[in-house]
Amino acid sequence: MAYRRELIQIRPTNLGNGVFGSRAGLPQIIFEIPQVPKICNGKSLKISGKFKAQASTGVAPNNASQFFQQVAANTDNIVYMDGRTGISSCFDVVSIQSLSNGQTYENIKNYNRLCSSIMPLNESIKSYLNGGIDGLYGGLSKEVSTAAKCDKQFSFATPLWCGFLQGSPIDLNLVGGIRIVISLSPDNFVLRNNKWRFATNQGGQANGGAFYELSDMMLTFEAEVPDAEGQEAMMSNMNGAWEYNAYSSFYNVIQSNDHSAILNINTGRTIATIANIIPSSFLNNYNYNSSWATQLLTEDTAGTLKNRITMTDFTLTKGGLRIPLDFEVDSEDSQKNGTCSSAKNFEELNAIRPVWSLSNFEKSPTTELSLALGNVVAAGQAQDQARHSLQEQYSVCLEDKIKCDNFGVAYDHITNNGLNFKGTPLGLRIQSIAPTGTSMKPHSLFLYIKHKNTIVFNNGLVNVVS
């Protein structure tokens, strides 16, 4: 059977006037890929278009000339997006369904927060700045560079990091075509001002707030098209089974120094768990970056959540037993000493990609040791002082001094078949010590389970088995 490469280009079904976004009245984008005898290379699938940020005054932002100014000429015009996730921060929910019968193959809530974890584990600062990443994902990792890019409309062609697409090639005829529904994030999730740097810079909130628009949207992917004989064979095939990976998302709120969560994830072949944390007040707030993956934070003297709460232990269980790690991941000493927590970092880096094949990631001592220590005095440091402070001189070639923190563990990198969590819930325990005199503010915990699904096709009927 001979195959020919083709690039399939699909416009949104709900095109409207071509502009998507909350302010444009179209916060959802729907793409429908027809049921045709072609093989879709999901890894090549790109959502392309143009992104435009608008300041609350309805004009283009003016970050490039005022980013480092404590008292900017017009703080309302200092708004920009997250550099590590880029355009992916605009996608709140991504749902992949069968076009012919509506069966859901994968539904990722808080897709943008999943990207906060997995994208910095895929790219280094060098690939963000000079690796073509900004041309595709829209972000440059460094806040000042991403902010400058947001001053004007720019193009993007970003992949979707859904397990369904990132696995093996997809028989579009067998899956009955695909409908991809993308619900867009709120404007104040995607855009933020510069308050983190300068307390007085709290612009972007007047007149309904700064907003973003996506236009010229198109879905493209590489397809393998068989010859006539092959197409006929594909069309006559109504039965089969196909395995793919999928992410399931869970949400939790941390309100105590000893947080436990029991989740009935009910997945038969669980490959990995990855989670990230952010103060709940940072979410959907122009004053903060909603895409950050911080650790637990407490207030500094100005009342801003900037000081870290010492993490002591992190434990994962399966049905009450410590599985896959039969020990607590202890960070207490390293946190008290103001050094990186190696064991925790190792497990986190190993969660999605095997650590032995990991070469590019956005994690370094400058990101890990960037939060002020509160009233804990690290060795050789003054009280409250972070080893790598955002307030210091701008670094041209290192990562921004912003925490890139995850909790994660891989269950099975050898057979990739995972552990069975059916009937045995996943347990998560995070222990911490808040500095004396401080209280724990609510933090949002976004937890994602990467697991294997099987679709069984039987004479046109589709059944998804997880």
Partner 1 sequence: MNKSSGKQLPAVLRTDVYDVPVGQDINTDLLYPVNISQQGAKFVFPRKGVLDSNSQINISQTCNQIAGDETKCYLPTSTGALAMVRRAWLTIGGRRVSTLDQVGHYNTWKRLHFSNEYREGVAMPKQGGNDVFVGSTGKDIVAVGAVDATSVKQRGFLANAPNTGAGNGVLGRIGTEYSKDPATGLQRNTADKTTDSSDLITSNAATTPNYAIGLSQLIPFLVGVQLPLFAIAEEVALNVEWATSEFGHRFCVPQAQLANQNNIFSTIVENDVYIMADYMFFPAQMETLQEEIMEKGGFDIPYDEIQVQETTTAVLTQGSITTEIQLPLGGKVLKSVVVQQEITDGADEGLVNVGRYNSMALRQGQSVNLTIESRPFYANSISNPSLQLSEANAIESGIPLQLCMYKYSWDNQVNAFGVVDKAGITDRTFNGHISLIEMGSQFWTGVKLENMSGRGIRMSNLPAIFTRRATLDATNPDIGKQHRLRFFCKTARMLNISGGIVNMIE
Among 13, 130, 256, 458, binds partner 1 (CB under 8 A): 130
Tell me if residue 111 falls in helix, strand or coil.
helix
Among 88, 112, 145, 367, binds partner 1 (CB under 8 A): 145
Among 144, 165, 297, 376, binds partner 1 (CB under 8 A): 144
Query: Which C-beta is closer to partner 1: that of 66 or that of 116?
Result: 66
Q: Which parts of 205-264 interact with partner 1 (CB under 8 A)?
A: 216, 218, 220, 222, 224
Q: Which parts of 157-186 interact with partner 1 (CB under 8 A)?
A: 157, 169
Query: Which C-beta is closer to partner 1: that of 25 or that of 135?
Result: 135
Among 74, 395, 458, 463, binds partner 1 (CB under 8 A): 395
Query: Contact 149/51 with Cβ under 8 angstroms?
Result: no
Contacts of residue 99, defined as CB under 8 A and 6 or more positions apart, other chains included, come to: 32, 33, 34, 35, 176, 177, 178, 179
- Degrees, nearest 5: CA angle 239-179-456: 20
Residue 36 interacts with partner 1 (CB under 8 A)?
no
Residue 3 interacts with partner 1 (CB under 8 A)?
yes
Residue 284 interacts with partner 1 (CB under 8 A)?
no
How buried is 105 (Cβ within 10 angstroms: 0-12 exposed, 13-18 middle, 19+ buried)? buried
Residue 200 interacts with partner 1 (CB under 8 A)?
no
Beta pairing partners, 6:
223
Instruction: Convert residues 49-78 into a mask of x (bound to partner 1 by CB under 8 A) and - (unbound).
Output: xx------------xxxxxxxx--------
CA neighbor of 111 nearest in space, from 155, 70, 162: 162
Query: Which C-beta is closer to partner 1: that of 53 or that of 181?
Result: 53
| Spatial distance between the Cα atoms of 106 and 108, rounded to a whole number of angstroms | 6
**In the complex, least distance from residue 435 CB atom to partner 1, rounded to whole angstroms:** 28
Peptide linkage before 12 cis (omega within 30 of 0):
no
State the DSSP H helix or E strand holding residue 317, giving kind and residue range, or none if neither.
strand 310-318
Residue 101 interacts with partner 1 (CB under 8 A)?
no
Residue 136 interacts with partner 1 (CB under 8 A)?
yes
Q: Are strands 39-54 and 154-159 parallel, antiparallel or unpaired?
A: antiparallel
**In the complex, least distance from residue 141 CB atom to partner 1, rounded to whole angstroms:** 9
Query: Which C-beta is closer to partner 1: that of 135 or that of 460?
Result: 135
Among 19, 30, 36, 148, binds partner 1 (CB under 8 A): 148
**In the complex, least distance from residue 126 CB atom to partner 1, rounded to whole angstroms:** 4
Query: Which C-beta is closer to partner 1: that of 134 or that of 347?
Result: 134
Residue 406 interacts with partner 1 (CB under 8 A)?
no
Q: Dump the DSSP string for 392-443.
A: SPPPSSS--S--B--EEEES-SSSS--B--TTS-EEEEEEEEPPTT--PPPE
Query: Which C-beta is closer to partner 1: that of 216 or that of 232?
Result: 216
Query: Which C-beta is closer to partner 1: that of 3 or that of 346?
Result: 3
Query: Contact 383/125 with Cβ under 8 angstroms?
Result: no
Residue 156 interacts with partner 1 (CB under 8 A)?
yes
Amino acid identity at 10: I
Q: Give, rounded to a whole angstrom, the gap between the first and last alpha carbons of the chain.
A: 32
State the DSSP H helix or E strand holding residue 291, giving kind and residue range, or none if neither.
none
| Spatial distance between the Cα atoms of 454 and 103, rounded to a whole number of angstroms | 13
**How far is C-alpha 325 from the chain's CA centre?**
25
Among 228, 321, 382, 397, binds partner 1 (CB under 8 A): 397
Query: Which C-beta is closer to partner 1: that of 74 or that of 264?
Result: 74
Interface residue list for partner 1 (CB under 8 A): 2-7, 9, 39, 41, 44, 46, 48-50, 63-70, 124, 126-127, 129-132, 134-136, 140, 142, 144-149, 151-157, 169, 216, 218, 220, 222, 224, 393-397
